[in-house]
Amino acid sequence: MLIFLDSNIICANFHMKGPSFEIMKKVGTIVLGQVVVDEVCNKYREKAKEQLKATQKAVNELNNFLSVPIEIPSQNLLDTECKKYQDYLDFFCIETGMTVPEDYPRISHRDVVQRALLRKKPFKADGSTGYRDYLVWLTCLNTARTYSNEEIHFITSNVHDFSDLADKTKLHPDLLHDLNELGIPESRFHYWNSVKSFIDNCAGIRAAEIDEHRRIITEIEQNEGGFCTPLQKFVDESIIGLDISRQEILTLGESATLKQIELFSDFSVEDMVTITDDEYLLDVCADSMGIIDSYSDISEIDEIEKMNDEDIGFDLEILECDKNGKCRIRVTEGIQIHLRAIYSKKSNAIISIELDYIDDYDCPYCSY
C-alpha cells in the first residue's frame, strides 16, 4: 500500500507525529512528491517566520521590564531550523523506504495551460489557480503507473479542487477521467479527503489485522512442542547430509554436503498466509553456522585459499588428500535455512514441512 500525501496534510502536522501517522507507517509506505516537499518546506519557513516575529514582539515588550534584555537570534535561528526540517524530510523519505521523493512530472507548459483553459480540475472554475495542485496530482498518477502492483491511497484536505461537487468523499469526474485514460483501475486507486477518514475506514482496520497477524505469529513461535521441536527434527533428519550444490551458497569444489548445522537464532516466521479455516502456511527462517564438506583438486586449493584471504566469510580446512591430489575440504560459513511449513490450529502444531532454500550471507562471488 502506497499512501500519497498532499502538502496540506503535512502542513497540518509538520513532523507527522501522533497515532494517525504511526498507523499509516504500519499499514503502508508514505510517499512524498518533490513538489509536495518543496511546498511544505516553504510553508514551514513562512510559519516559523511568523511565529518568530510574534515571539520577538513579545520579547521586546518583556525587555521593557528587564535589567538585562533578552536577545533572540531570529534570522540565524530561522535558517537553522529550516535546514533541520529539510534534513528531517530527507531522512523521513529514507526511513519509509522511498529513498528520495517522487520527482516532478514531465509536462510542457502548453499542456498545463491547456488544462487550465479547459477549466478542468484541479484548476479552479476561472482557471486562475491550480498549477501546484495539478503537479501534485500528476506526481500521484505517475506513482500509480510506476508501482502498478500497489494500491494507491491519495489523501488531501483540498476538497474544493479534488472532490466531486456532489459527494466530497469521491474524486471529481475530471480526475476519474485521468485515471481511466491512463488505465489505472479505480479499484486500485483510493481517494480520501482527510486523514481521519483514511484511518477510520481503511488504515485502522488494516492495522488491527496486522496486529492480530503478528499476535498469532508470536504465539506460534513460542509453541516449543508444536513449532520449534518439529522444525529442529526436520533439520536434523532431512537437511544434515544434504547435497547443497544447487542451493544459493558459495560451495567450493564438488559434491558439497552439509555435514553439520549449529543454529544460533530461533526459528522465526517471516510470512504467514491463511490457506484454510484450520491451516496456516508459514515461511520460516533460521540463522546458523554450516559445516560443508566437498572435494577439490590440490591445484585449486591455493586459489581457494587466496579467495579466503580476501575475507569472503568462511573458514577453510583441508581434511585429507589422496595420491592423485584429490582433497576433501571442509568449509564453515554462516547460512540461512528457509523452510515452508503448514501449521494446524486444531492440532496446535506443524503438520508438514519442506525445505524452501538455503543461502549464505553477503557472498561477493555468488551470481545471485
Helix (H) / strand (E) containing 219: helix 204-221
Count of residues in the chain: 368
Terminal Cα-to-Cα distance of the chain (whole angstroms) = 28
Say how far apart CA 269 and CA 282 lie, in whole Å. Answer: 6
361 pLDDT exceeds 70? no
How much of the chain, in percent, has pLDDT values that exceed 70? 94
Q: Which residue has the higher pLDDT, 141 or 261?
A: 141
Q: For position 362, what pLDDT does the model report? A: 53
342 close to 351: Cβ distance less than 8 angstroms: yes
Predicted local distance difference test score (pLDDT) of residue 245 = 82
What number of CA atoms fall less than 13 Å from residue 86's CA on the CB side? 12
| Choice between 77 and 284, residue whose per-residue pLDDT is larger | 284
Q: Position of cell 511544505?
A: 40
Asked if 261 and 240 touch (Cβ cutoff 8 Å), the reply is: yes
Range of lowest pLDDT (27-31, 98-102, 146-150): 98-102
Under DSSP, is residue 273 helix (H, G, I), strand (E, B) or coil? strand
Q: Is the pLDDT of residue 355 over 90?
A: yes
Which pLDDT value is given to residue 308? 55
Q: What is the pLDDT of residues 239-267, one digit of tens each?
A: 999 888 888 877 777 888 989 888 878 89
For residues 307 and 72, which has the higher predicted lDDT (pLDDT)?
Answer: 72
Integer Cα distance of 62 and 242 in angstroms: 80
pLDDT at 73: 74
Identify the DSSP state of 237. I
State mean pLDDT over 318-347. 90
Mean pLDDT of the residues in the chain: 90
Q: Which three cell numbers stand for residue 144?
A: 500509480
> Alpha-carbon distance 336 to 180, whole Å?
45
**Which residues, in sequence order, are CB contacts of 98 under 8 Å at separation 6+?**
29, 30, 31, 32
CA–CA dist 259, 277 (Å, integer): 39
Q: Which residue has the higher pLDDT, 140 or 332?
A: 140
Parallel/antiparallel/unpaired status of strands 279-297 and 254-263: antiparallel
Q: Distance (Å, rounded) from C-alpha 355 to C-alpha 204?
A: 36
- pLDDT (average), residues 49-67: 88
Mean pLDDT value across residues 193-197 = 96
- pLDDT of 306 strictly over 70: no
pLDDT of the residue at 35: 96
- pLDDT above 50: residue 151: yes
The DSSP secondary structure of 54-78, one letter per residue, reads HHHHHHHHHHTT-SS-----HHHHH
Rg (alpha carbons) of the chain, rounded to whole number: 30
Task: Tell me what pLDDT residue 155 has.
Answer: 98
Q: Identify the band that residue 364 occupies on the pLDDT scale cut at 50, 70 and 90.
A: very low
